[in-house]
């Protein structure tokens, strides 16, 4: 059924369709409408999961730890400071191998106080052992919640569905809301063989030896890498059932492109328009949309790039003193290649500044003409 939904409501509908058992959440702008809607759906009987209105984000993830440990499908949502406040718990639940799904609606980090979007909140959780999938439309948001549960439950790693605050969270778009029966076919009931059973005296997360700890982390890394294939398989299955295909990286008009914009999140949709404009002007422009950040699709990237081309990586995030974070990761992934494309990193739209088609076209041109500095981050601003 086609509906016009804001991004946050698309997420909530996804959580309902996933037949989530337990939702535990705390309000924070711009995420709040997700939990408001789930609460409404619960009060009207359309959503039957338990809802715990916790007193903090730290407790939100702690409650998910408890519920997921007994094998209940669990969900929370947050943004920015809330995500940072959860940081300890993010490590814990991935170490405990709990397939929790969380939405992070990107919002820049304070200080100073800031409400609008950038990706530094989610990307600074890079090493917590969570998968991260970035969305560039409201349809992708709904679909990604379902995809995230399927992948998370197969590899027993928690997954974060990430999208831009306000640009997507509060913006209405037409969304195809799938049929519950089809969703049930795509996402079977969670059966976690490692769940705590109340009738069996076993302890979970007790102190191991260093050797055991090391091996558990090696196993987590092994499964995180395995998740790349599981994601692609889930994408194929999703297409069979729903007719929409999702990949780890998604190229657009790249076949003969000399210079390719590399973008994640909502600006990737804007970048399609920018590429179309550039093509009209006779420029050989392409777009690569980054969908997965963890696990990082390094192999897919290496297969995708051709020597002699240029990549213009647009980061709405930064690692102070170094680069945009996607740019860092892409450079690192391409390093093993003998012949590498040139990679330019651009920082744009921090704290919610617009990333317009004009800005993206300018970025493309700076990279295409070799005017940008490949050795450092290029800070870009729409001068208008």
Partner 1 sequence: MTIKTSIPESELLSAGHLACQGCGATLAMRYALKGLGKETVLVTPACCWTILAGPAPRLSVGVPLLHCPFATAAATASGLKAGLVAKGDEKTQVVVWAGDGGTFDIGLQALSGAADRNEDILYVCYDNEAYMNTGIQRSGGTPQKAWTMTTQGKGGSERPKKDLDSILEAHHIPYIATVTPGYPEDMVRKFKKARGIKGFRFIRVLSPCPPGWKHDSSDTVDLSKLAVQTGSFALYEIEDGAFRLSMKTPKRKAVGEYLKRQGRFRHLTEKDIVEMQEVVDAAWKRYESRS
Partner 2 sequence: MPRLAFDPEKTAPILISGRSMAENKTGIWRSIRPQIDKEKCTHCMVCWKYCPEACVDIASGIPEINMGYCKGCAICADVCPADCVEMVEEVAR
Letters for 47-76 (x = contact with partner 1 by CB under 8 A, - = none) are --xx-xxxxx-xxx-xxxxxxxxxxx-x--
Site size for partner 2, by CB under 8 A? 21
Pseudo-torsion of CA 43, 44, 48, 49, nearest 10°? -40
Distance (Å, whole) CA 81 – CA 78: 9
Please tell me whether residue 273 adopts helix, strand or coil conformation.
helix
Distances from the Cα of 32 to the Cα of 12, 85, 113, 380, angstroms: 11, 16, 17, 31
Nearer to partner 2, 149 or 238 (CB): 149
Out of 156, 234, 333, 347, which residue is the one contacting partner 2 (CB under 8 A)? 156
Distances from the Cα of 91 to the Cα of 58, 71, 102, 139, angstroms: 12, 19, 14, 29
H/E run at residue 332:
helix 325-334
- What angle (nearest 5°) sits at the alpha carbon of residue 75, between those of residues 71 and 77? 160
Q: Which stretch binds partner 2 (CB under 8 A): 107-115, 165-173, 201-209, 283-291?
A: 201-209
Distance (Å, whole) CA 57 – CA 61: 6
DSSP string, 216-265: HHHHHHHHHHHHHHHHHHHHHHHHHHHS----SEEEES-TT-SEEEEE-S
Tell me the two tokens of residue 173: 């778009």
Task: For the CB of residue 32, give the shortest distance to partner 2 in the complex, in Å.
Answer: 33
Nearer to partner 2, 226 or 247 (CB): 226
Out of 220, 249, 283, 374, which residue is the one contacting partner 2 (CB under 8 A)? 220
Residue 80's closest CA among 125, 129, 15? 125
Nearer to partner 2, 1 or 203 (CB): 203
Q: Rule CB under 8 A: which of 321-350 touch partner 2? A: none
Nearer to partner 1, 128 or 169 (CB): 128
Nearer to partner 2, 55 or 202 (CB): 202
223 binds, among partner 2, partner 1, none (CB under 5 to 8 A by kind): partner 2
Distance (Å, whole) CA 276 – CA 220: 41
302 binds, among partner 2, partner 1, none (CB under 5 to 8 A by kind): none
Q: Rule CB under 8 A: which of 226-245 touch partner 2? A: none
User: 307 exposed, middle or buried (CB, 10 Å; 0-12, 13-18, 19+)?
Assistant: exposed
Letters for 151-190 (x = contact with partner 1 by CB under 8 A, - = none) are ----------------------------------------
Q: Which stretch binds partner 1 (CB under 8 A): 113-121, 148-156, 199-207, 252-260?
A: 199-207
Nearer to partner 1, 112 or 198 (CB): 198
Distance (Å, whole) CA 175 – CA 142: 8
> Does the protein bind partner 2 through residue 215 (CB under 8 A)?
yes
Nearer to partner 2, 4 or 216 (CB): 216
Distance (Å, whole) CA 107 – CA 110: 9
Give me the residues that bind partner 2 (CB under 8 A), please. 96-97, 156, 194, 200-206, 208, 212, 215-216, 218-223
Give me the residues that bind partner 1 (CB under 8 A), please. 21-22, 24, 49-50, 52-56, 58-60, 62-72, 74, 88-89, 92, 196-209, 212
């Amino acid at each position: 059924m086609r509906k016009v939904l804001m991004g946050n409501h698309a997420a909530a509908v996804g959580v309902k369709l996933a037949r989530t058992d337990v939702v535990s959440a705390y309000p924070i702008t711009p995420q709040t409408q997700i939990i408001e809607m789930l609460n409404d759906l619960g009060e009207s009987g359309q959503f039957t999961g338990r809802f715990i209105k916790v007193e903090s984000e730290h407790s939100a993830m702690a409650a998910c730890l408890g519920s997921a440990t007994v094998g209940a499908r669990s969900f929370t949502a947050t943004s920015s400071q809330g995500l940072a406040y959860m940081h300890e718990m993010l490590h814990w639940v991935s170490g405990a191998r709990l397939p929790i799904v969380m939405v992070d609606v990107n919002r820049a980090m304070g200080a100073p106080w800031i409400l609008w979007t950038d990706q530094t909140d989610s990307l600074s959780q890079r090493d917590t052992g969570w998968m991260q999938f970035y969305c560039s439309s409201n349809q992708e948001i709904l679909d990604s919640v379902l995809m995230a549960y399927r992948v998370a439950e197969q590899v027993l790693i928690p997954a974060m569905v990430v999208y831009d605050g306000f640009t997507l969270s509060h913006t209405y778009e037409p969304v195809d809301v799938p049929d519950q029966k089809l969703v049930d076919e795509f996402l079977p009931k969670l059966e976690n063989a490692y769940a705590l059973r109340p009738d069996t005296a076993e302890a979970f997360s007790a102190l191991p030896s260093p050797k055991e700890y090391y091996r558990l982390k090696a196993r987590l890394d092994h499964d995180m890498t395995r998740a790349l294939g599981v994601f692609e398989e889930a994408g194929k299955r999703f297409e069979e059932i729903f007719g929409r295909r999702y990949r780890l990286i998604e190229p657009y008009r790249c076949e003969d492109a000399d210079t390719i914009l590399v973008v994640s999140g909502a600006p990737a949709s804007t970048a399609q328009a920018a590429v179309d404009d550039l093509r009209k002007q006779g420029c050989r422009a392409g777009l690569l949309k980054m969908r997965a950040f963890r696990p990082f699709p390094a192999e897919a990237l290496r297969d995708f790039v051709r020597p002699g081309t240029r990549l213009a990586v647009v980061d709405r995030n930064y690692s102070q003193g170094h680069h945009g974070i996607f740019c860092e990761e892409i450079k690192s992934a391409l390093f093993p290649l003998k012949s590498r494309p040139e990679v330019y990193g651009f920082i744009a739209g921090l704290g919610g500044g617009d990333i317009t088609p004009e800005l993206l076209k300018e970025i493309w041109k700076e990279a295409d003409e070799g005017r940008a500095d490949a050795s450092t981050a290029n800070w870009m601003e729409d001068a208008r």
